[in-house]
Chain A
């Protein structure tokens, strides 16, 4: 599995607005990579730079080892599925899908054969002579995908392609897209702000935040080993605690929080006295009616929320911070207002560097110099 797209040191600046900051991403062949982030994080700009609609202010973009910054969009072997579909309203569905082949001057008979085959693949047979305005949102979406895929691009870029569909259709299209991607073995670079979509479909996810990739990893790693506080809070629900690392032993750190000391697993990159963040998912949280060894947290049960098979407990720490703890429904639970002692298995928590890490690194560099 070789590298197919490589972005190195890519920056994009609009006036005083630094949208994409020193981006380095390597996309593997045949991979489904998602750029995930909230709006304005630079994910669409990144995609548009790969497609050629935007020019990077600096840095290089390589597709199949070849620099493409200088190439016009029509010279690049990548195709885009637009968020608004961008179907040609004056052309029939057949002509829309055939457009790319027509531009490549493929013989008419072959165009017809390939278009019909593609229409079959996206389940649009029989719609050849309709116009885009006569199709539903989901059908337009399929045409947009067919129109891009028929060119057999090495890389398909998808800019929030399911954003305009309703939830049910979106779920169905997610599976269909994934199926198409596996079947055709084309690299997909997919932009979305929907974390569930990203987790469902992707081989790897790049979480973008403020023009920077915070973490590029598999969905499992993103969820279980978030690299930054932003990633931890952006993906799924979590409880975060800021505190100071007071001691480390056998891969377990003692961290002192505002509300008392706790334990969490850590690696060698942390140092004593570093100010760091702990993230613990609600389903990994435990509590007991008496203090747990190594944990000094005390909380009061505020509320219970039933979510089908699970039960969310909202508990409040002395400093007013709220924690979410998930329990299977049907268990005996303390009454609202009663005192509990939250804890977790140190292996289930994640210790995350935050900004103070940079200061520690800088201090280290000074010492070394």
Chain B
């Protein structure tokens, strides 16, 4: 009997690749590779006068991407993504530090506070912000009732509001890798630094930040890249005043109905992402911590 079991195990270990990785390969072929290929092909297609896709090669979509209007939006996207990332680091780092280094039993609770927002769709949460910040929203009601303002303040439809929404959406993606990096930090190194005469801010810059730079970097990548492609935050909170690449793509597929152009934009965004991930990898970044 024992022999038969071991024979069985032997066989299962040498199952052909088609059986073991086959299903996953087929799944990703249909769900990842094929759609991406379709997007790539479409980005080189033309449209007729009714904006129907015509499968005929052209590079015109890519040349359109260089128009000044678009370039302005790329700049704006990069700027918003950059500001969002910086703010996420500045807000997320102290928070992650406190929850990672606390010895209190509340540690798990703090950690949960970061996780819980994931349980609600981010679209709904952004609508929540809109309700909160709107001209008849809670914040304005509060300000009016306190007599701090005479008429409702327009918080919505500003670049700052979009950034606020982005930071709110992406802060967990910053906090979690930071938390992991900071928790791994050996406490005796901090004691050694202090013991050798370093004031707390010196310890921060000499020891803590250099040793958690991997976490900072993965957090930045995980915030910056999706931030470039997010469109609904700027749609809902920016009201079309702060367009980003994501909005541009969305519009080509929905209202403007120019799919090939949208596909070309998507390809550019994918390339930017790949380049950033490559840089991250070359700097010694860990792909696992990106969830790739």
Contact = CB atoms under 8 A, between A and B. Distances in A.
Interface of A: 51-53, 72-74, 78-80, 82, 84, 86-90, 99-100, 103-104, 147-148, 151
Contacts of B198: 74, 99, 103
B188 A73 contact: no
B4 interface: no
Given A89-B211, A90-B210, A73 B194 contact: yes
Nearest to A78: B195
Interface string B182-193: 000010110111
B202 interface: yes
Interface of B: 186, 188-189, 191-199, 202, 206-207, 210-211
Pick the most buried of B189, B193, B196: most chain A CB atoms within 10 A of its CB.
B196
A42 to B, nearest CB: 18
Contact of A86 (B188, B197, B206, B211): B188
B191 A73 contact: yes
Contact of A80 (B195, B199, B210, B211): B195
B192 to A, nearest CB: 4
A101 to B, nearest CB: 9
B186 A86 contact: yes
A80 B196 CA distance: 8
A151 B196 contact: yes
B199 A86 contact: no
A259 to B, nearest CB: 51
A104 B189 contact: no
A80 B197 contact: no
Given A52-B195, A53-B194, A79-B196, 16 more contacts: A51-B191, A52-B194, A53-B195, A73-B191, A74-B198, A84-B188, A88-B192, A88-B211, A89-B211, A99-B198, A99-B206, A100-B196, A103-B197, A103-B198, A147-B192, A147-B196
A151 B207 CA distance: 19
Contacts of A148: 195-196
B188 A82 contact: yes
B285 to A, nearest CB: 16
A103 B196 contact: yes
A94 to B, nearest CB: 14
B49 to A, nearest CB: 62
Contacts of B191: 51, 53, 73, 80, 82, 86
A51 B190 CA distance: 13
B31 to A, nearest CB: 41
A74 B194 contact: yes
Pick the most buried of A73, A89, A100: most chain B CB atoms within 10 A of its CB.
A73
Nearest to B198: A103
Contacts of B194: 52-53, 72-74
Contacts of B192: 80, 82, 86-88, 147
B196 A99 contact: yes
B104 to A, nearest CB: 13
Nearest to B192: A86
Given A88-B207, A90-B210, A103-B202, A51 B195 contact: yes
A86 B189 contact: yes
A74 B195 contact: yes
B195 to A, nearest CB: 5
B201 to A, nearest CB: 11
A147 B211 CA distance: 19
Contacts of B193: 88, 99
Contacts of B186: 84, 86
7 nearest CB pairs, A to B: A100-B196, A86-B192, A86-B188, A103-B197, A73-B194, A80-B195, A103-B198
Contacts of A72: 194
Contacts of A147: 192, 196
Nearest to B213: A90
B188 A79 contact: no
A200 to B, nearest CB: 26
Contacts of A151: 196-197
A73 B195 contact: yes
B211 A79 contact: no
Nearest to B197: A103
B251 to A, nearest CB: 46
A151 B188 CA distance: 19
A80 B191 CA distance: 9
Contacts of A82: 188, 191-192
A151 to B, nearest CB: 7
Given A53-B191, A84-B188, A74 B199 contact: yes
A88 B189 contact: yes
A81 B236 CA distance: 57
Nearest to A95: B206
13 contacts: A73-B191, A82-B188, A82-B191, A88-B189, A88-B206, A90-B211, A99-B198, A99-B206, A103-B196, A103-B197, A104-B197, A147-B192, A151-B196
